[in-house]
Amino acid sequence: MPGSDNSSSSPVRINRYIASSGICSRRAADKLIEAGSITINGRIATLGDTVAEGDIVEYEGRPISTVSRKIYIMFNKPRGITCTASPDDPDNIIDYIGYPERLFTIGRLDKDSEGLILLTNDGDTANLLLRTDGKHEKEYVVSVDKPVTEDFLKKMSSGIYLPELDKTTIPCEVTRKGKCSFRILLTQGLNRQIRRMCAELGYNVVKLKRVRFATVGLGDLPLGRYRELTDEEAAKLKAVVS
């Protein structure tokens, strides 16, 4: 298969091949296929197609091939940066970082939030992490507009019904950090979950920062900077879904 370090292997599904190219996760690859953006040997690909050695796979007319080096980086995202690769968004994370190789984010962090976001060209690992969302912890430090009370902590940790989503959050660990701040560990990943939970209790989020994703902690990485994960960090992250 073109560009692969495993050319003698059996044919692989088209979505896995695309994910191995570093363009996107396997889930996002399915959307590209459904949109008719992928061709195999000049024919529009369909879900379930496979790629064999010698096949030419193209994305919107541009050849793609699997990557030889898997990259995992951590980025301390500033507020105002969007977790998208779309060049139509002037605040997209890919242009902001300016990494020399093609990467995509593992999950998202909303535009108004800051902190740890992981990026990779390893579609298989990204896909597994996204599929197992709800089984690994994400840790946040949150500042709100008024004092954090014991009643607030109890209700946040016990689960809150979110009418806009028609869902109740699952119990989680919430601890006070300061007079108007708290630390929360989530395994759930609902849209703007922490902000919605606080709003239901009459609080507004002033600052929201993710400090850990699964086994990877933000540490002292400066805001707006990134670094590659160490071999040990990458191995621990992949072990979460191995």
> Which CATH number does the domain housing residue 93 bear?
3.30.70.580
The per-residue pLDDT for 65 is 79
pLDDT digits (tens, 9 = 90+) for 14-47: 998 888 887 788 888 999 999 999 999 999 999 9
Find, among 205, 133, 53, 35, the residue nearest to 45 by Cα.
35
| Residue range(s) defining the domain that contains residue 198 | 138-213
Q: Are 139 and 168 contacting, i.e. CB atoms less than 8 angstroms apart? A: no
The per-residue pLDDT for 134 is 65
Residue 79 domain flag: yes
Verify that 26 and 41 share a domain, yes or no. Answer: yes
Residue 127 domain flag: yes
User: How many separate helices (H) and strands (E) can be counted in the chain?
Assistant: 7, 17
Q: Quote the number of domains for the chain.
A: 3
Residue 6 domain flag: no
Verify that 91 and 188 share a domain, yes or no. Answer: no
Burial of 96 (0-12, 13-18, 19+ CB in 10 A): middle
The per-residue pLDDT for 9 is 58
Verify that 16 and 58 share a domain, yes or no. Answer: yes
Verify that 123 and 232 share a domain, yes or no. Answer: yes
Residue 219's CB is within 10 A of a number of other CB atoms, namely 11
Catalytic residue among 55, 95, 110, 133: 110
d(CA 96, CA 99): 9
Residue 99 domain flag: yes
The per-residue pLDDT for 101 is 83
Indicate if 110 belongs to the active site: yes
Residue 55 domain flag: yes
Residue 116 domain flag: yes
Residue 229 domain flag: yes
Joined together, the tokens standing for residue 21 give: 């190219």
182: enclosing H helix or E strand: strand 181-186
Q: What is the CATH number of the domain that holds 41?
A: 3.10.290.10
Verify that 231 and 115 share a domain, yes or no. Answer: yes
Verify that 33 and 79 share a domain, yes or no. Answer: no
Joined together, the tokens standing for residue 199 give: 């709003």
The residues of the chain scoring below 50 in pLDDT are 1-8
Verify that 128 and 226 share a domain, yes or no. Answer: yes
- Is beta strand 226-228 parallel, antiparallel or unpaired with respect to 72-77? antiparallel
Residue 193 domain flag: yes
